[in-house]
Structure 1
Amino acid sequence: MSFLTRLAALLVVVAVWSMPAGAAPKAALWDVWAAHDPASAIAVDHAGWDRFLGQYVRPGSDGVNRVAYDEVTTADRKALDGYIDALAAVPVRSLSQAEQLPLWVNLYNALTVRVVLEHYPVASIRDIDISPGFFADGPWGKKLVTVEGEAVSLDDIEHRILRPIWSDPRIHYAVNCASLGCPNLHTRAMTAENAEAFLEEAAIAFINHPRGARIEDGKLYVSSIYDWFDVDFGGNDAGVIAHLKAYAQGELAGALTGVSRIADDSYDWRLNGTVSP
């Protein structure tokens, strides 16, 4: 391969890594998943995922939860497969929306952990280029599971189901992309009973951590989540700042009082593992 060819390839990688906000997927409803049964008494069992999280998610002293991917046993990988298969077998459209929300959130997170385990060790989830397309970046576009006869990808779950159906910006704090810059993968599963508290706690935890929002020399720096998906947070700096103020505590709450614009955003794509590959 010539020097110019290698240089061109490198520039493509850099361009994809520095993906602009406009390239972030838009919320576009997949109509088939809008169906639900308000009267349904079906309760989905998330105990298997809860056990996995309790075993392998390690809260750090720096406020970042990390996953011990290198410690996951063969038996627990099989158990994770079994949990995902069980969710895929649920008649999702026959559930109440209260049961659907944790099902999709937990399925997204469990699939993300499994895809990392399948390719571990990796430095970043963006190195798992299994999405369709010549310039594939990460695993998000690949169909990873079949639910009620429909092949579903991580992008489908987040951008065609969760975001358009629930229209709740806190969804971004519930789904985890296996990166240090992402809101934490929690130590417990979301359930219909704890969903509201789960979302509130997740929002507070992320916003009050430096990777969510911080003030330096009077300027506001935020996670790139608020840039990529600004439409979910009001569509502009004012909307994002209003959202941050609703959850900010302590020094951050006081510092946000006189802030009217965002200075910059950033995101750490390194894998959220307890060991750096």
Structure 2
Amino acid sequence: MRKIFLLFSLTFFINSFGQTSTFDNLLKEHVNNKGIVNYKNLKKDEAKLDSYLSYLNKTSPQKKWTPSKTKAFWVNAYNAYTLKIILNNYPIKSILKIKEHKKDAWNISFAKVGGKTYTLNFIEHEILRKKFDDPKIHVAVNCASGSCPKLGNFAFTEANYETKTTELMKNFINDAKRNKISEKKVALSKIFEWFKDDFTKNGSLIDFLNTYSETKISKKATVNFLKYDWNLNGK
């Protein structure tokens, strides 16, 4: 019995590693260092994406998994299904154009994980945000739009989740196209307005920004928010 269990565990590990590598390779092939997706070429590789989605449909996160492994799994699922819904409607200028039975892309039940069907909103808000006190989730999940934090050209894993999300947060906050920061004035992404509570659990919003900002921001700095660009993050 022990040998059977070990064999099953090893088989699952190899399959999981292989499928995550498939998604990782797709992102490396079709997403550049600025987070811009070549959807036209990705469409040609859609069968590989579908293979990864099939793996997700057959896989349920385990209670024994570490938080980093669980977050990596769900973030990858969110991003993979976001790419899928874009490809299902491609060519398209914005994810906001996607509608099904009067529901937008985030509220369509189509993301199959572990034999259950979810919406993107459920994965983000009811699983990732609700179960984990981790504001870096907001640079991990990607909404396929210009003002989103850039989509990383890699898959998340248990080993890289913390370092990669830290890198993405630093990149996002110091990206002048997404946040305009000076000592006395900041104009921020709407993400910091929409999800302010996530960023201020351990201090002020300025405190959070200063953890990652290359420019030291005064605690008395004025704070405004920028218009969000919903154009597709593609060529």
Structure 1: any 5+ residue segments left out of the alignment? 1-39
Q: Deviations over 1:103-124 (max 9, x none)?
A: 1000100100111011011111
Structure 2: any 5+ residue segments left out of the alignment? 1-8
Asked if residue 173 in structure 1 is aligned to residue 139 in structure 2, the reply is yes
Which residue in 1 is equivalent to 2:47?
78
Kindly tell me the number of residue pairs found equivalent between the two proteins.
221
Offset at residue 227 of structure 1 (A): 0.7
Q: Deviations over 1:87-144 (max 9, x none)?
A: 22113235503322111000100100111011011111000112x5x4x3x3001111
Asked if residue 245 in structure 1 is aligned to residue 210 in structure 2, the reply is yes
Q: SS at 2:92's partner residue?
A: coil
Which residue in 1 is equivalent to 2:124?
158
Q: Say if 2:57 and 2:116, in contact at 8 Å, map to a contact too.
A: no
Which contiguous aligned blocks of 4+ residues in structure 1 show a shift greater than 4 angstroms? Answer: 40-43
Q: Scaled by the length of structure 2, what TM-score is found?
A: 0.86
1:88-167 equivalences in 2 (<5 Å): 88-97=57-66, 98-130=68-100, 134=102, 136=103, 138-167=104-133
Distance in 2, matches of 1:119 and 1:56, equals 18
Q: Kindly tell me: are residues 217 and 93 of structure 1, through their superposed partners in 2, closer, same or farther at Cα, counting changes over 3 Å?
A: closer
Percent of residue pairs bearing the same amino acid type:
33
Distance in 2, matches of 1:271 and 1:163, equals 24
The amino acid of 2:48's aligned partner reads A
Q: Deviations over 1:157-203 (max 9, x none)?
A: 10000111111000000000000100111111110011110111011
The amino acid of 1:242's aligned partner reads D
1:1-277 equivalences in 2 (<5 Å): 43=13, 44-45=16-17, 46-59=20-33, 64-74=34-44, 76-97=45-66, 98-130=68-100, 134=102, 136=103, 138-215=104-181, 218-234=184-200, 239-249=204-214, 253-254=215-216, 256-257=217-218, 259-274=220-235
Distance in 2, matches of 1:91 and 1:269, equals 32
Distance in 2, matches of 1:141 and 1:206, equals 26
Distance in 2, matches of 1:127 and 1:150, equals 26
Q: Say if 1:211 and 1:222, in contact at 8 Å, map to a contact too.
A: no
Q: Say if 2:135 and 2:199, in contact at 8 Å, map to a contact too.
A: yes
Q: Kindly tell me: are residues 149 and 65 of structure 1, through their superposed partners in 2, closer, same or farther at Cα, counting changes over 3 Å?
A: closer
Q: Say if 1:213 and 1:221, in contact at 8 Å, map to a contact too.
A: yes
The amino acid of 1:99's aligned partner reads K
